[in-house]
Amino acid sequence: MLITTGLKLGGAEQQIAALAGSFVALGNDVAILNLTTGTEVDLPPGVPVTELGMRKTPAAVLAALRKARHIIHQWQPDVIHAHMIHGNLFARTLARTGPMPPVICSAHSAREGGRLRALAYRATDRWCDLTTHVSEAGRLAMIASGAVPSGRVIVMPNGIDTNRFRQDDASRERMRRDLGLNAGEVLVLNVGRLVPEKDQAMLIEAFHEVYRRIPGARLVIAGDGPLRAKLAIQIAEYGLNQAVLLAGARKDIPELLRAADVFVLSSRIEGMPLAVGEALASGLPVVSTAAAGVAELAGDVATITPVGNAPALASALATAIEQLPCTQAEQWRRRQQVISRFDISAVAGQWLAQYQQLMEAH
């Protein structure tokens, strides 16, 4: 049973959906408890989802716990695997209400929250069997914050469905036509929610310099969030309305990656950014800030710049564009970086082995 804070289009939610699909493909039964409501990610057919619709009141939390206990009693899972801070704390509290199978809690961000959240993690640590993080940088950040003892948290990386991210010339041309791109224009793609952690404001500042240097460059930012209006104003102030598109939340990321020439990540905070792995699996040159998990994921096949440094990001982006087109050998090397270590089937197999070990110990 997977417990999640939500099922929107974020990276953690996409990872939950990908794991569910792989677990089912490997012959396992999967059910999902969603603390909130609404499902935007594509889940495998037949996976039951229960929405708890939990609100931030004691009565609502108690009602959600009762409902979750009833479902667990009916479904009788062998393992409970929670994701993200609210899902993790909920699962730990659930474990205190009576006999439960092993409870695993997975963190997906290098900064799970402030001091109070770290204290909540530490206070409830003994109520779960294992805590995991998607990157070593994130694991060390959790330990440094006091959220978990060093011997109680391990790294379990995100997995990527590399079969979804293959080059396809016909798909590339269709998407480029849909985006209104001319043959000589270079598409730089960014994928992420429009929130301060993703720092698209710094990206737009950097792209302003790139566009001055390379007038044929175009930037598409796929994602939505509370900063959309502010970013639109910034784009207009820089005179970039013809060069930068806020494309909104998208479900066609593989097609956008095929249409792109370069991928860019501008984040200040990450855990292990799936978007970078997906771009590499698509064979794209990647320019990224040094957010947590990027170096572990990309190795030496991406260009990494300091966090929050617009001039450095602009220079790296311009260089990546000027070095186009990529050779097939370069594309293969990027794709192999992901396939060799982060293919979803292999990662799902690692999880199943971890589940079995915890079940035996439990």
181/324 same-domain check: yes
Low-confidence residues in the chain, pLDDT < 70: 113
173/141 same-domain check: no
> What does DSSP assign to residue 35?
S
200/190 same-domain check: yes
CA distance 228 to 235: 11
CA distance 217 to 206: 12
Neighbour tally for 66: CB within 10 Å? 11
Instruction: Report yes or no: 139 and 154 within 8 Å, Cβ to Cβ.
Output: yes
Structure tokens at 142: 């959790």
* Residue in the structure block whose two tokens are 């206990």: 69
Instruction: Identify the domain containing residue 327 by its residue range.
Output: 162-341
331/354 same-domain check: no
CA distance 290 to 303: 9
CA distance 179 to 219: 11
144/96 same-domain check: yes
Q: Is 51 exposed, middle or buried (0-12, 13-18, 19+ CB in 10 A)?
A: middle
Tell me the helix, strand and coil percentages in the chain, rounded to 5.
50, 15, 35
pTM of the predicted protein model: 0.88
| CATH code for position 299 | 3.40.50.2000
155/171 same-domain check: no
Rg (CA), the chain: 21
Instruction: Report yes or no: 89 and 124 within 8 Å, Cβ to Cβ.
Output: yes
- Please tell me the predicted confidence (pLDDT) of residue 178: 96
Measuring CA to CA, how many Å separate 270 from each of 14, 95, 138? 15, 28, 8
Look at phi and psi of residue 241 and say left if phi exceeds 0, alpha if psi is from -120 to 50, else beta: alpha
326/196 same-domain check: yes
Report the alpha-carbon angle 173-176-182, nearest 5: 105
- Please tell me the predicted confidence (pLDDT) of residue 361: 92
17/138 same-domain check: yes
**Dihedrals φ, ψ of 319, to 5°?**
-65, -45
Report the sign of the C-alpha dihedral through residues 41, 356, 346, 273, in that order: positive
Q: Is 328 exposed, middle or buried (0-12, 13-18, 19+ CB in 10 A)?
A: exposed
Nearest by Cα to 91 from 73, 65, 117: 65
256/175 same-domain check: yes
98/185 same-domain check: no
Instruction: Return all residues near 312 (Cβ < 8 A) that are at least 6 apart.
Output: 305, 306
- Please tell me the predicted confidence (pLDDT) of residue 362: 86
The domain tally of the chain equals 2
* DSSP-derived 3-state class of residue 50: strand
154/168 same-domain check: no
228/254 same-domain check: yes
